[in-house]
A and B are shown apart, each in its own frame.
Chain A
């Protein structure tokens, strides 16, 4: 019998999983936004690519899962770097306005999404490296091994990122760059190099998120689209470009979406998230925590 308590713990687990994935997406997006100040929409396709590369090595070439995972995550980082080098860098040199990056980013997204569709087809693919059957009880709800792995790996990734940002010279430069573009030079890294680092690190996080989610659900060429939107919404809720804000925003969105099912049918999940997006963009573009300093326009 499903009691209310079981229901709550089940929703709690679902929220935690969704929140982990959203946070990873949001942080990657935020690190990049912080450095370049434009919307890297194609971040979503890096996420999908991460999942498909893991699938290719693990399911098709029969590599072990850990190696496939590492190969995929590194490739995701490189894909992000490539997008920067070939598209955004050209635009940066020509001093394009922000909107141009967004449109180009859409183009890149659509381009790669359909390359994936051409190679793997439009059908849904599955990848299940972990024993499905093993599930554990958590306050009355059941949690599978896969779900535990998703949560643990996400948290481990977040911790690793935190150590990178707080304890390494490169990480500190990334953290400082938004407040002071000169900060990078102070620690002896030029701004192009730092942007490359941001794209690599951010894209690695997207890759991790893509692989993790495909353990629980499935792969499809269009999977990147909702993911980047959740990432952007979480980033905006947490305050654009704020890394801690992205974590909070990600988990907040995960919980709102899942517990929202209490009141609203689940098919309306996307509707709720997009409404959140508009509400925040229109009323509070600085998010819950961010404060946009008043600046002189002219």
Chain B
């Protein structure tokens, strides 16, 4: 039972991450390929605050998310004018910079050794109770994320966001300040990614750079595309499938040394096939192209 609860929590965290990317990728139509960077900023900020300054995770969560949001805003200001693949490359590069930053700033982040002993939100003595608590907490945050995403998207503002995805120039010609809207969405997307990162860190209690590398960014992109961009259900399904699928490999008895590359090989294959054959994903209606 503990293991199932653990999977539920991890899936929930990735659902938040995928939904946050979906705002940028699915609704705004901007190919952000470095989303793990904001996940990392949220995780490291609140972990370091808790470990070094004794700041409660409850507060650190919002400080971490705010740091992520500010980074998102800065990146937005720098890259809003870049077109599709150039934007993709720039955000991918940003992901690499953050990754190599946390890897190399060993004085602060302990680099590849990682940060152990991150405090949990509430210290339970019983593992089962702790897992139940995290299940409820994560579920709550998933629901908040869904609620806010819907609130933002099903509104005149959300209509503008989607019009930029369809034709930025035409939106501009109708008087929409596309630059401002883009930066807002980058900021909100980064904020929720930061929340996910911080939740992850204070649940697992140990983080190292390997959880935030560029492959992780591509994995989240794959979650959104697989499930279906520009829907709420899509990223949820995508995240669930891609978190639970490796567990299946383990279940049928494939050794870890083989399972890891096998899993990634399948991810790569899936990405190519989806893009060619089914760009709207499993449940999506919006076509990437």
A residues apposed to B, CB below 8 Å = 38-39, 87, 90-91, 96-104, 106-115, 117-118, 121-122, 221, 229, 232, 267-268, 270-271, 274-275, 277-278, 281-282, 285, 297-298
Contact = CB atoms under 8 A, between A and B. Distances in A.
Interface in B225-279: 225, 257-258, 260-262, 264-265, 267-272, 275-276, 279
A282 B97 contact: no
Contact of B276 (A104, A114, A277): A104
Contacts of A113: 264, 268
B238 to A, nearest CB: 14
B86 interface: yes
Contacts of A103: 31, 88, 221, 225, 271, 275
Interface string B208-223: 0000000100100100
Interface of B: 31, 33, 78-79, 82-86, 88-90, 93-94, 96-97, 100-101, 103-104, 169, 215, 218, 221, 225, 257-258, 260-262, 264-265, 267-272, 275-276, 279, 288-289
A210 to B, nearest CB: 19
Given A102-B31, A110-B271, A113-B264, 4 more contacts: A99-B85, A270-B96, A278-B94, A281-B86
A113 B214 CA distance: 14
Given A91-B276, A96-B289, A104-B271, A115 B265 contact: yes
Given A268-B104, A271-B101, A107 B275 contact: yes
A140 B96 CA distance: 37
A130 B239 CA distance: 49
Contacts of A277: 89-90, 93
Nearest to A277: B93
- List the 6 closest A-B pairs by CB distance, nearest first: A111-B268, A110-B268, A107-B271, A114-B265, A107-B272, A117-B261
Nearest to B221: A103
Nearest to B219: A110
A103 B261 CA distance: 19
Contact of A107 (B97, B258, B260, B270): B270
B104 A101 contact: no
